[in-house]
Structure 1
Amino acid sequence: MRKTKIICTIGPATESYAMLERLAHAGMNVARLNMSHGDHQSHAKVIKAIKRLNKTLPHPVAILLDTQGPEIRTGERDNDLNLQTGDIISVVARGTQDVEEHSLMVNYADLIDDMDVGDKLTVDNGLINLEILEKHERVMRCRVIDGGVLKSKRHVNLPGIRVNLPSITDKDRNDILFGMDMDVDFIALSFVREASDITELNELLGDKAGRIKVVAKIENQEGVDNIDAIIDAADGIMVARGDLGCEVEFWELPHIQRRIVRACAQQGKRVIVATHLLESMIDNPMPTRAEVTDVANAVYEEADAIMLSGETTVGKYPIKCVEAMHNIATTIEKHRGLAFTNDLETRDHKQNLAASAVHLAESLKASAIVVITRRGRMANYITNCHPQHSVIHAFTNDGRTRRQLGLNRNVYAHKLLFSKDPEKTLRKAFDLLLSYGFSEGDQVVVISDTLGLYDADAGQGIEAIQVRKLEASK
């Protein structure tokens, strides 16, 4: 069974029910809705299709809504602008239209105030780069360092500059409220710069805070600088390498990725590696060897999930992309990863209990770690320990918890009606495992944070670990 989870961004190439079904059967664990594209009507149609599909799947697909964030973009253009290296052009930051034919508009009014002569602007994900030569009231004169063809509404990055934009824009707020109404499982907040951005989102979520999990997207240097506090505030982190690779020196990106993955392991939070993993497969049926190695490195690092973007939104081979990720991950997982288990930093009693359960399961080479959990907390604790041999099977009576555990590395979640008799609950869990291909007599380690191990007289959960052998109900 594959430990590393796969996230697929849904777009024109994959939004039909038939394609969503094929993605799920190929290995999609989480469907991402990119709010930078489409509208609420089109996204609602996808959400309803996934919920319908989940009724037929052995393991449901979770839904992640990804906000657009405070993006800076160039303006609309009637014609493409061909920029040659060495050209001098005008960048317009205030006003509604370009001042001259050989110029471009940027939709950020404070651009001129925030930047100095000598600073650089990166346009269209680093394809076009400009250096500021002069600043005027509403126009900057810039030299083209790296030329290219500029189309409408291209993304602009300001490396090293803290932009004066809100963490949650008006559009983001409307999109988040839409996600709440549609009962999504995760919200990914773009361009998180500090922990207070997560606090603001949780305040907006209100009584759904904690139930809808929050993933912080790290996309600039400020987010990297504040990573420990952000990890502490969020439920998970996305290493969004597209914008991040434009905001920092690209040769620093591999180290930053590994540092964030390790920090998440230390703090016991989920982590996603995203962007450009199989970019060439947008147009080609096979990945490059460098892309194969890139995916493999994320698996070696024991990231919880790896994500596809353009590959599954507009690409020609979305199913082959998921199959490629699945095959790479399952092959690499046969070998021991970087194993950050011993780096886990905690004084949490339940986390230490989970570590003991994992140590026992690994020493016994148990076939599975069985977790009985209502809200997924103990399953998270077990995930944090990165067991190398045993697969984690979590049993919950809550559908949302089951879906959200689809992001956890090495966790397979099942819905189960809990009994007041803990032994009956375990026997039903064992029957499910046997139906999935386990054999009677297989050794498993059992741990619970809810009804599975419960002292009715004391009225509280018993913190205990059991070693059991699977046997069918009689």
Structure 2
Amino acid sequence: MRTKIVATIGPASKDKETIKAMATHGVRVFRLNFSHGDAKSFEPIIRSIREVEQEFDHPLTIMGDLCGPKTRIGEIENSPLTIHQDEHSFLGLPEMRSESGDGVFIPLDVPELLEDLEPGMQVSLSDGLLQYEVVRVLKVNKLYELRALAGGPLTSRKGIAFPGKLHRLPALTDKDRIDLKEGVDAGIDALAISFVQGPEDIEDALRELKRHGKAVPLVAKLERRNAVDTLSDILHLADAVMVARGDLGLECPLSEVPVIQKRIIRAARHAQKASIVATQMLLSMVRNPIPTRAEATDVANAILDGADCVMLSEETAAGEHPVAAVKFIDEVAKHAEEYFRERLKQPYFPAEESSPAKYLAYSAALIAQNSGARAIASHSQLGTTARLISSRRPAHMIYAVTPDQTVARYLNYFWGIRPVHIPGNGRDHVERVEDFIQASTDFRPGDKIIITSGQPTPGQKSTSTNEIKIYTK
């Protein structure tokens, strides 16, 4: 299986046996949601994952998903309510309740979200099931009159979104800064940053890590229109991106989200950064033992789009069939990947790019395809070479041999990469890969493996990939 599975750990999946079963069926990244816990509460789960990692003899990655800024309304009087089309309501700070009109009052205790609202702007509530527009400013930055564009449910504590509006809220809250530090100290391998709006949010997280003396990969969750508009700048700084379709579908027209998903995945591949598709992949399996046909098609389409990872949320965190959900993703991936390779025919050519490294990666994939090779093996100090080869989407598995455990766990995010952690022993890079091939039961005598490596030459200032070799075991 080339596509990686990200599984959220929760009450339904936090025991060691369930974690082990999910890893057996393709989960390589385990997500801990800081909206439902802190580093201390996650420590037993982290220990269980590390124990499974040792038994499994394969790097497993733990991703902490930070909460981000609060974007939920307060308590609605007589909730739940049904709002009718053209019905007027009032949105404002809680202390404005007495100054609102006769309609329903919607309290929002986040002053920054209410700044600069103007008539005609849209407001989305209840996961997009209720759409309003601002019709009148009653008190600047404090109280607004809204008109329902269509009827829908209104419930307390639901999320609120302002499609297209740039918020001044930073992606990292005070809670996130605490969770970031305590999370990496507890052994988390990567962090997902919620509600990223631009590269400045990634820079903020990088500074926070640097102040703490730590460095882990950062996943930018793309949930805002502004993040989509600044995607190239975000990709320059982030190590991976997540297509968080839930909130993204509130910020952008729902009909546009499938195309946005394709554009993000393509841009990430070109930048050699991992892409994760998330939200409601198999939502019906929270209760049902099998998914709907539409969900099966959705998962397959994400894989056919070229996503590196697909992510399960409620399905594994709180669902009744967490392992079955993982198994189903595994089964869909096998069929979708076969068709993906059938359709692609050859590795992606690095067209219109003056990048020798990409051409070397393309060459390795092409040689593997035309030499009857069993696999591609790469020695990688930082993971760059393996990521470059992965971006070409070769027909062969990529074994990335690295002396760095952090790099091995980061490479779990990438399509077709099998990270192999071998502690440094001072040997030549090619020799270390050859030693791995000779010892590995994945290869039989006579198998050909394409090896890529970086061998220093007199004129090189730094070691980078400059060699491709056909090795026969």
Question: Do the two structures share a fold, i.e. TM-score over 0.5?
Answer: yes
1:443 to 439, 448, 463: 448
Quote the residue 2:222 is aligned against: 218
Alignment check: 8 A CA contact 2:132 2:148 kept: yes
Q: Which residue of 1 aligns with 2:90?
A: 90
Contact kept, 8 Å, 1:273 with 1:306, in 2: the verdict is yes
Q: Any conservation in 2 of the 1:29–1:406 contact (CA below 8 Å)?
A: yes
Which residue, out of 268, 284, 298, partners 2:288?
Answer: 284
Select the residue among 152, 160, 164 that pairs with 2:164: 160
- CA contact 2:266–2:306 (8 Å) conserved in 1: no
Check conservation: 1:120, 1:159, Cα contact below 8 A.
Answer: yes
Deviation at 1:56, TM superposition (A): 0.9
Identify which of 352, 368, 381 aligns with 1:374. Answer: 381
Matches within 5 A, 1:260-409: 260-336=264-340, 339=344, 341-343=348-350, 346-387=353-394, 389-409=395-415
Q: CA deviation at 1:119?
A: 2.0
Give the letter aligned to residue 375 of structure 1.
L
SS at match of 1:19: helix
Map 1:234-273 to 2 at 5 A. 234-273=238-277
Structure 1 runs not aligned, ≥5 long: none
For 1:65 and 1:235, how far apart are their aligned partners in 2?
14
Residue 125 of structure 2 aligns with an amino acid whose one-letter code is V
**One of 126, 129, 135 as aligned partner of 1:127:** 129
Contact 2:96 2:143 in 1 (8 A): no
- The answer to which of 272-281 and 335-344 deviates more is 335-344
Q: Please give the alpha-carbon distance, in whole angstroms, between the structure 2 residues aligned to 1:155 and 1:106.
A: 10
Q: For residue 268 of structure 1, give the secondary structure of its aligned residue in structure 2.
A: coil
The equivalent residue for 2:155 is 151
Out of 420, 438, 451, which is 1:414 matched to? 420
The worse-fitting range, judged by mean Cα deviation, of 204-213 and 125-134 is 204-213
Unaligned runs of 5+ in 2: none
Report % sequence identity: 31
Tell me the residue number matched to 1:466.
469
Q: Distance in 2 between matches of 1:278 and 1:113?
A: 37
Contact 1:365–1:390, Cα closer than 8 Å, also in 2: no
CA contact (8 A) 1:267 1:344 kept: no
* Counterpart position of 1:115: 117
Task: Confirm or deny that 1:27 pairs with 2:32.
Answer: no
The answer on whether the counterparts of 1:344 and 1:384 sit within 8 Å (CA) in structure 2 is no
Residue 268 of structure 1 deviates from its aligned partner by 1.7
User: Hey, what's the Cα distance between the residues in 2 that align with 1:154 and 1:460?
Assistant: 52
Confirm or deny that 1:431 pairs with 2:435.
no
1:210 Cα deviation from its structure 2 partner: 8.8
Does residue 229 of the first structure (1) align with residue 233 of the second (2)? Answer: yes
Distance change (3 Å), C-alpha of 1:276 and 1:432: farther
Task: State the 1:441 CA deviation.
Answer: 0.6
The alpha carbon displacement at 1:102 in A equals 3.5
**For residues 107 and 347 of structure 1, do their structure 2 counterparts lie closer, same or farther at Cα, with a shift above 3 Å needed?**
farther
SS at match of 1:353: helix
| Deviating more after overlay: 190-199 vs 239-248 | 190-199
2:352 and 2:223 map into 1 onto residues whose CA distance is 25
Which stretch shifts more, 86-95 or 323-332?
86-95
Deviates more, 1:372-381 or 1:237-246: 372-381
Secondary structure in 1 matching 2:339: coil
Total equivalences in the alignment: 462
Matched letter for residue 32 of structure 1: R
Which region of structure 1 is more displaced relative to structure 2, 46-55 or 316-325? Answer: 46-55
Q: d(CA) in 2 for partners of 1:122 and 1:440? A: 61
Q: Deviations over 1:230-283 (max 9, x none)?
A: 112211111111100110001111111111111112222111111111112112
TM-score (norm 2): 0.90
Cα distance in 2 for residues equivalent to 1:66 and 1:345 = 36
- Structural mapping, 1:51-200, within 5 Å: 51-76=50-75, 80-86=79-85, 87-95=87-95, 102-137=104-139, 138-200=142-204
Measure, in 2, the Cα distance between the counterparts of 1:189 and 1:365. Answer: 42
